[in-house]
Amino acid sequence: MVEIDKTKPVMVTGGSGYLASWIVKKLLDEGINVHATVRDPADIAKVGHLQAMAQAADTELKLFQADLLQPGSFDEACQGCELIFHTASPFHLTKVKNPEETLIKPAKQGTRNVLKTVQSSPDAKRVVLTSSAAAVYGDNVDIKSCPEGAFTEENWNRTSSPDHLPYSYSKTIAEKEAWDIASQQSQWDLVTINPGWILGPSLTPRVDSASIKTLIMFGDGTYKLGVPNLCSPVADVRDVAEAHIRVGFNRQASGRHLVVSEQATLLDIGKILRKNFGPEYPFPSREAPKALFWLIAPRYGFTRKWVSRNVGCDVRFDNSRSKQELGMTYIPFEQTVTDHFRQLIDDGLVPKH
């Protein structure tokens, strides 16, 4: 059991990120001081929203420059922190020209560098690693090997590789690396959050997140002729942030935690958007035949192997552990999608109609 002192600062890596910004906000709103690492603390466009949140909450926020590939760059930020949230990791799903340099090396080496810092910090007691449901499964077709018909925290992604779903592979090896390092010491414990596809409103008008780019594509006509029949685990960014907070301060928390509100298809998103924002936007109203998408997939950055193993195959996830042990109650998916698209409109990322 780990007792975290809330009067001490909490460290958040990648603090200006889509998910991390919500974690920082929740910590500040609870009166907890935060040490957030960012690439450039002087870049107001990237960190201004964090500073505004700290002022509104009347809580101390310190920003530290850090680089995932630079050993020792997290040392200063970690000083005095008992709880560390490691969220920083690259997120690119398609058109990755060099997976090793773009995804795999930053994910694995970054985790190693952060945990090396933790190991040298006498105050550290717990690390909460933002992993992914992608470390639980690789392809949708993997569901056929689940005896109970649903993925759980016991499952591991065994089908991804640097050449096939490199992002999923990077999350898998990064989490395994973290568990291996944690097993070699007894000063601090490791807990992971394994969220599904994260959607929901961003705290900044950013477009550098794959999740945000996808929602923009729903509004700009990219999918107007149809979407592939792709089923994914989904979660609201606000719920995922809340799960981090709960697992961080829960004395008895341990192991992995799937954070998934439900399973949804791309057409489900299109239907929600059409219902709430009307027909004037070019939202998709149908699914593209698998055979057609198989032919044109490379144009959109997807391989035909990925299409064969994922399109048209439903998946299911067991989120009972997050409900029972963390007390999670999930935001309805319709609200997630609606709030997200409204934020994109308000921030001028999709045109108003």
Residue 154, Cα to own-chain centre: how many angstroms?
Answer: 19
3-state secondary structure of 112: helix
Radius of gyration of the chain (CA): 20
What is the distance in angstroms between the CA of the first residue and the CA of the last residue of the chain? 53
For residues 197 and 178, give the distance between their C-alpha atoms in angstroms, rounded to a whole number: 21
> Residues 306, 223: contact at Cβ < 8 Å?
no
Catalytic residue chosen out of the listed positions 46, 125, 171, 290: 171
> Residues 336, 234: contact at Cβ < 8 Å?
yes
For residues 37 and 84, give the distance between their C-alpha atoms in angstroms, rounded to a whole number: 11
For residues 114 and 26, give the distance between their C-alpha atoms in angstroms, rounded to a whole number: 22
Query: Does 271 qualify as catalytic in the annotation?
Result: no
- The type of residue at 136 is V
3-state secondary structure of 69: coil
> Residues 26, 237: contact at Cβ < 8 Å?
no
Ramachandran angles phi, psi of 79, nearest 5°: -60, 130
Give catalytic residues, as residue numbers: 171
